[in-house]
Amino acid sequence: MIQSKKAVIYTTPALLMIFLFWLFQKYSFVFFIELILGFIIGNIILELDHLVYWFVINPKSQESQIAQKLVKEFNLKKLYNFYLQTKDFHKTLIFHHFYTQVALIIISIFVLTSSNIVTSRSLIFFTNLNLFIKQVFSYTEGKSQFQSWLFARMPKQVSPNSLIYYLGVLAILNFFFLAKMISL
């Protein structure tokens, strides 16, 4: 139940922004559909990281074997429940890593400043927003937990007390991305 509440908290700001775009900007229904499509894909991309963990990064672990079996059986309900139970223990994820986030930010700046395709802009925006919200929650739950998955496999670590500055920079970038989304 706690995981479901977190998922709602993660997505509520994005859903609110979609509604506000639609309501106040009086965009066409197609714009709204494109925005929703980008929102869904942008949020799913980060969760695919756990499949990469089970099938590529750590395929021989007992947890991965269970997940692989559930995928082969196409038992999506059990797979989803298993994902909810195990996702907080994955520390070596690819899309949740510092280097990937830097690459995502660079791609985001390019897409949001040069593309007028609503789906791609909303996908990139909501991916950034979702990751930022997850990072804020992880930081508030424990600085060392946040540090361990963001900088996994890195020999040099940012001190836990400096992570607030990292989140501050991300907040500024997300406000910039929001401004670019509103200027569509």
For the segment 122-172, what is each residue's pLDDT rounded down to a tens digit?
899 989 988 898 888 888 888 887 888 888 778 888 888 889 999 999 999
Which bin fits 148, alpha (ψ -120 to 50), beta or left (φ > 0)? Answer: alpha
pTM summary value: 0.82
User: CA 121, CA 108: separation in Å to the nearest integer?
Assistant: 8
Check residue 91 and report its DSSP letter: -
Long-range contacts of 8-16 (CB under 8 A, 24+ apart): 9/133, 9/137, 10/43, 10/130, 10/133, 10/134, 10/137, 11/43, 11/130, 13/129, 13/133, 14/39, 14/43, 14/126, 14/129, 14/130, 15/39
